[in-house]
Amino acid sequence: MNKGRKITSGKYHANRKKKKYERKGIVNKTSVGETKKKTKRGKGGHKKTIILRTNTANIKSGNKVQKTEIKNVVETPQNRFLARQNRLMKGSIIETSLGKAKITNRPSQEGCVNAVLIKDKE
**Residue 20, phi then psi, degrees to nearest 5:** -60, -40
pLDDT digits (tens, 9 = 90+) for 9-59: 898 887 888 898 888 888 888 999 999 999 988 888 899 888 999 999 999
Query: Per-residue pLDDT for 122 more than 60?
Result: no
Contact by Cβ (8 Å): 76, 103: no
Q: Supply the pLDDT for residue 2.
A: 63
Question: What is the C-alpha separation between 18 and 2, in angstroms, rounded?
Answer: 25
Q: What are the chain's domains?
A: 28-117 (3.10.290.70)
Contact by Cβ (8 Å): 68, 96: yes
pLDDT digits (tens, 9 = 90+) for 61-118: 889 999 999 999 999 999 889 999 999 999 999 999 999 999 999 998 888 999 999 9
